[in-house]
Structure 1
Amino acid sequence: MVLWQLSEQGPVRFGPDTLGVRSRVNGYGGGALAACSTGVFVVAEDQQIRHVSQKDGQCTQLTDDPDAMYGGLVADDTRQRVLAVRECNHRQQLVAITLEGEQRVLHSGQDFYSAPALSDDGTRLAWVSWQQPDMPWIRSQLWLGEVSDGGALADCHSLNSPLQASVQQPVFDGDRLWVLSDHEGWWQPWQVDERGEGDWRSGGAPACDHANAPWQLGESHHCPIGDGRWARVRYCNGTGQLWLISGPDYKERRVATGYGDFRHLRVAEGTLYCVARSATRLDAILAIEPVTGHERIVAGGGDPMPEVRAALPLDIEVPAQGPDSDPIQGFFYTPKQASVDAPPLILIAHGGPTSAAYPVFNPHVHYWCQRGFAVAEINYRGSTGFGRAFRLALEGRWGEIDVEDMERAADHLASFGLVDGSRVFIQGRSSGGYTALMAMIRSRRFRAGASLFGVTDPLRLRAMTHRFESGYLDWLLGPPHEHPRRWHERTPLHHANRIAAPMIFFQGGQDPVVVPEQTRAMVAAMKAAGGAPELHWFDEEGHGFRKRASQVGMLEWTFSFYRRHGQKADEQAGYLS
């Protein structure tokens, strides 16, 4: 990423052309920049913090710590410094770094830190921490400390939620501390008693998630906009909505209704800014006037396909089946060209798996719709945006209930004649690739499948995964020493002989997450069992393909694969209606 600033003439590059901005804390980064009165603090590609002067654009390196990574930046204008999460030697700390490069440890001793938030007068600091083996969306704690005149922290204590919870995104509105907590079943806003006496007061929000899973630092889904007013994101039936709330009676108004997801809410000079995502536009930075609700695009937001009709997402709900089930939601896209015959379906399992599909522009979806396929992105149990119980339903059941939900979605769409139930394909990336593989093992429902750098051996992944996710697989499948049979049953590599339908694999040679040997071993096992899987290798790609040529090649090879294996009995070879 590169650094831009908004000028009177519009967005312009800011800082040196060679400056790349990216944090790698926890493997996923976030919070790689923070604006201040003198300029902008950034985490550069080498993971060191720099200050880019607003006056002359001069870039000054503030840290020289090659073993450390930084993220979650927050400017402390009062003391002319930046606060950050520092990760080094498998430890994290909250630190402060001055413009002269002097570094001070503010707090340590917790396994993970995120979301530092300063009070308006700079005298209090709130943050979130959690301990291994938890992930932050399972259990975390809110902390508060007093900031001395000299900049040190004192009287640090945790502010325990009424029930076990995941808390995130603390923020001060004047002298009041707010946080998003899911202790009542949804990530909702709560005002917290700063004295730690257990007084958590509801923000009067509806029963829906007001954030998604905090994979990255620096997330912001709620923001005070002055005079007791708030901007808040809500996730309703998988769609992000932006609401403005005001007054003690919580009068509210939805704004920017043409968008389906919102991130990074900020206020500057009375205007609300955010990153907004739409089904028909490229990601945009919006400026919204809180009084009128008027919106304008200040950057991005272009039409990605001006000559082509965009495929629009249709909200679908698959009803529950039995007492051990829940309704599931997804987004369905129809092919561009109408046909007398029901179209083939590509069913997509999102990655994470604690993540979600959103109704936002996805060029891959449009590629398939332009070529006669229907596409469905499914928010199976374990997805975010549907409450704590739904999100945690995946505990110990990965490779089971997600697969059941994908099958239910395919059957539901076919039962209404929306798709050809005999020509259903399933695919996914990373953990979504694992779900696709388990579906191909457990079911004969799918005509063929595609694994895009998907997990094939969870135990091997567990041995090699990074610190942030070191306890995640044990949560998804249970500790392996306690559930050895379950791990064996949920390992695609051990059941390659049960995949009877065609499979295609894509793998990056530099992937540090799903290491290349996982895919090689799976392909070899399938061949040894008499299968004929296709493997496409990209030596220079990592976990997720970045190069345009790689992405184009992946789509074209997958299309050719689906086209061959999606023929009707009376079709000629190479033709797909």
Structure 2
Amino acid sequence: MIQPEVASYGSWRSPITTDLITARTIGLGQIAIDGEDIYWSELRPSEQGRTVVVRRSANNQIQDVTPAPFNVRTRVHEYGGNSFFVVDSTVYFSNFADQRLYRQEINTEPQAITPLVAVRYADGIFDRQRHRIICVSEDHTIPDREPINTLVSLGLEGDSKPLVSGNDFYASPRLSPDGSRLAWLVWNHPNMPWDGTQLWVGELLADGCLGNTQQIAGGFNESIFQPEWSSEGKLYFISDRTGWWNLYRWQDGEIQALIQMKAEFGRPQWLLGMSTYAFESANRIICTYTQQGTWHLASLDTTTTQLKPLPTPYTEISGIQATLGRVVFRASSPTELSAIVQLDLATEKLEVLRRSNDVTIDPGYLSLPQPIEYLTANGQTAYAIFYPPQNLDYTAPETEKPPLIVKSHGGPTAAASSNLSFSIQYWTSRGIAVLDVNYGGSTGYGREYRQRLDGQWGIVDVDDCVFGARYLVEQGIVDGERLAISGGSAGGYTTLCALTFRNTFKAGASYYGVSDLEALARDTHKFESRYLERLIGAYPQQRQIYQQRSPINFTDRLACPVIFFQGLEDQVVPPNQTQAMVTALQAKGLPVAYVPFEGEQHGFRKAENIKKSLEAELYFYSRIFGFQLTELIESVIIENTRF
């Protein structure tokens, strides 16, 4: 038996390379079922971040539907979601370059439906009776004006008829089986959809217009998620009116609770068309829910309201779609990468239809997640997932403790997941520990935990990251002198706040992070333009708080090295946020690196840029924390240093 080599943490050679992560990994997205065929979208970094629709036919043949250069992606709300749907083997999709809707029959070229104007479309369904598309429209035709969102009915020749207007946001248009009624969600500034939404229903009249509209559920402090009609014409939805996203039914003018559990059946609607349940038949729902960070699959009898677990090896389940006898979903686990999975409900047999990466990694290189709870500020409990260093080829000197990277997720209304992520294993297999923090404000732990961040962004999230790192240091698990924090978007803001206002971390990496809250309040896209009112306070009335919590105003307190990554076409966190921070650190003489990317928006999609950012962050830490690299990677310029 070969004994592991003794080498310092951070210097271990790993088979989990950036080439493996980028060139061989795809992002699995939206799922749709059309008859016997299954469709899904694939984000392909190796094709310049292009997203294509893929079809698996009844005879198990898998083929691309979307020809190059088409890119199936909508920019409604900037984050998009639900960018295609399928009806009778015809795919309708939004193309990223021009944001037009296209119609494509199998093995034919896509044909444009909508005109070439600055209007975006998403979350579409097909109105069979009227042979029209009902979807969310976002009008950007007038410069320097907030885009106008509406629900519209589109003819297949491109004519547009408004159905509902006047609210700031619309989502989830859903037709009853007989085509006579339409359900949809609305919300208005300053709410985000997880704060408060309204569920409406209206009658579709003979001319295709809406009449007799009424609000069914929801409000300013009640979040409604995913309305769906059963084949019997009963309307189902998820509400957090009890503090937890649970399932409800609207029938005969009354709302009935189907499930009352301290579990989350819903998710924060950052993307349109998210799905956590689907009808297998009139009286059977297949659903997924999370408790303590783990997602479960279950079958719900809508007559008896009995919830029956459906055992799977997965801990992360999403994108539920179902038809008679089977269910298809995205799934992953601590040892399984994300995959499109089909479950035969009669035999309980699972079949993997597509994996995000087909590579097989020896489990000896994989760090298994360890959920932890710890006390944070004010005696409250916070949650995180810890990944210790793991590489079967190496062990560290007995007297050495590993460096730690604390991950602060984005959103901030998102959640860390225990699913296998090569982006985390990239670090742990090199001897660097990772703590993925579900700070106060994260979803998955009920509305009360989510609302801990109200008015406290930049405080509660930072506390939970700092206390998590200190907890591991106090337990003797990691090196207190080699603590780093890394995050993207809102997580980048948490990162910069932790580095500016606290002295726990010795280095940091900000991916398109917020540094100036005032600038963000004045210069961001519509979807999040009022988000800060709940997280920080009203602007400009509470301008002083915005200034006090903006790292850009307190660079004199920064005393450690930082590396910044930024997409130059980012409309969510504009590049000037990062550039101002870099300039300030350059002037102060702190070690600083800046890696901008042409052609990238909010989050990186191109293989070469994902590769460069990971390697640059590793190179940065190796120089700051003083460990030797055993692989050749491209260096990055670190200003104000001698190395």
Which bin holds the TM-score, normalised by the shorter protein?
Answer: over 0.9
Are the counterparts in 2 of residues 41 and 82 from structure 1 also a CA contact under 8 Å? no
Are the counterparts in 2 of residues 315 and 329 from structure 1 also a CA contact under 8 Å? no
| Amino acid in structure 2 at the alignment position of 1:80 | H
| Amino acid in structure 2 at the alignment position of 1:374 | A
| Amino acid in structure 1 at the alignment position of 2:333 | S
Residue 311 (str. 1) matches residue 370 (str. 2):
no
Partner of 1:121: 178
Matched residues in 2 for 1:482 and 1:134: separation?
Answer: 18
- Structure 1 residue runs of 5 or longer lacking an equivalent are 568-572
- Give the 3 Å change call, closer, same or farther, for CA 444–162 of structure 1 in structure 2: closer
Task: State which of 453, 475, 483 in structure 2 corresponds to 1:416.
Answer: 475
Partner of 2:375: 320
Are the counterparts in 1 of residues 372 and 386 from structure 2 also a CA contact under 8 Å? no
Matched residues in 1 for 2:629 and 2:535: separation?
Answer: 41
Partner of 1:259: 314
Give the CA deviation at 1:116.
0.9
- Give the 3 Å change call, closer, same or farther, for CA 107–552 of structure 1 in structure 2: same
Question: Secondary structure at 2:200's aligned position in 1?
Answer: strand
Superimposed CA distance per residue, residues 236-267 of structure 1 (whole angstroms, 9 cap, x where no aligned partner): 11222222222644433433632232222112
Are the counterparts in 2 of residues 238 and 329 from structure 1 also a CA contact under 8 Å? no
Residue 181 (str. 1) matches residue 239 (str. 2):
yes
Partner of 2:31: none
- Give the 3 Å change call, closer, same or farther, for CA 326–65 of structure 1 in structure 2: farther
Partner of 2:56: 6
Task: State which of 73, 89, 105 in structure 2 corresponds to 1:53.
Answer: 105
Partner of 1:19: 70
Question: Secondary structure at 1:427's aligned position in 2?
Answer: strand
| Amino acid in structure 2 at the alignment position of 1:535 | Y
Are the counterparts in 1 of residues 198 and 219 from structure 2 also a CA contact under 8 Å? no
Superimposed CA distance per residue, residues 395-452 of structure 1 (whole angstroms, 9 cap, x where no aligned partner): 1111101000001111222232322233211111111111111111222111211112
Give the CA deviation at 1:68.
0.5
Partner of 2:26: none
Are the counterparts in 1 of residues 329 and 341 from structure 2 also a CA contact under 8 Å? yes
Matched residues in 2 for 1:247 and 1:476: separation?
Answer: 38
Give the CA deviation at 1:47.
1.4
How big is the alpha-carbon RMSD for the aligned residues of Structure 1 and Structure 2? 2.2
Give the CA deviation at 1:213.
0.4
Residue 335 (str. 1) matches residue 389 (str. 2):
yes
Give the CA deviation at 1:91.
1.0
Task: State which of 214, 232, 239 in structure 1 corresponds to 2:269.
Answer: 214
Match runs of 1:32-71 below 5 Å: 32-37=83-88, 39-45=90-96, 46-54=98-106, 57-71=108-122
Task: State which of 531, 545, 559 in structure 1 corresponds to 2:618.
Answer: 559
Question: Secondary structure at 2:77's aligned position in 1?
Answer: helix
Superimposed CA distance per residue, residues 209-236 of structure 1 (whole angstroms, 9 cap, x where no aligned partner): 1121001111111112114111111111
Comparing 174-183 with 239-248, which one deviates more in the overlay? 239-248
Partner of 1:523: 582
Residue 509 (str. 1) matches residue 509 (str. 2):
no
Are the counterparts in 2 of residues 508 and 537 from structure 1 also a CA contact under 8 Å? yes
| Amino acid in structure 2 at the alignment position of 1:3 | V
Match runs of 1:359-398 below 5 Å: 359-398=418-457
Task: State which of 407, 410, 419 in structure 2 corresponds to 1:351.
Answer: 410
**How many corresponding residue pairs?**
566
Are the counterparts in 1 of residues 571 and 601 from structure 2 also a CA contact under 8 Å? yes
Matched residues in 1 for 2:123 and 2:135: separation?
Answer: 5
Paired-residue identity, %: 33
- Give the 3 Å change call, closer, same or farther, for CA 421–532 of structure 1 in structure 2: closer
Task: State which of 131, 134, 139 in structure 1 corresponds to 2:191.
Answer: 134
Give the CA deviation at 1:305.
4.4
Are the counterparts in 2 of residues 33 and 73 from structure 1 also a CA contact under 8 Å? yes
| Amino acid in structure 2 at the alignment position of 1:328 | A
TM-score with structure 2 length normalisation? 0.83
Give the CA deviation at 1:345.
0.9
| Amino acid in structure 1 at the alignment position of 2:532 | L
Give the CA deviation at 1:310.
4.9
Give the CA deviation at 1:100.
3.7
Are the counterparts in 1 of residues 320 and 327 from structure 2 also a CA contact under 8 Å? yes
Matched residues in 2 for 1:274 and 1:108: separation?
Answer: 33
Superimposed CA distance per residue, residues 32-80 of structure 1 (whole angstroms, 9 cap, x where no aligned partner): 11111252221122211122225x6353322114121000111223332
TM-score with structure 1 length normalisation? 0.93
> Relative contact order, CA 8 A, sep 6+: which one is greater?
2
Partner of 1:236: 291
Partner of 1:484: 543
Are the counterparts in 2 of residues 70 and 85 from structure 1 also a CA contact under 8 Å? yes
Partner of 2:209: 152
| Amino acid in structure 1 at the alignment position of 2:153 | A
Are the counterparts in 2 of residues 508 and 543 from structure 1 also a CA contact under 8 Å? yes
Matched residues in 1 for 2:567 and 2:461: separation?
Answer: 25
Are the counterparts in 1 of residues 376 and 382 from structure 2 also a CA contact under 8 Å? no
Comparing 244-253 with 118-127, which one deviates more in the overlay? 244-253
Partner of 2:4: none
| Amino acid in structure 2 at the alignment position of 1:19 | F
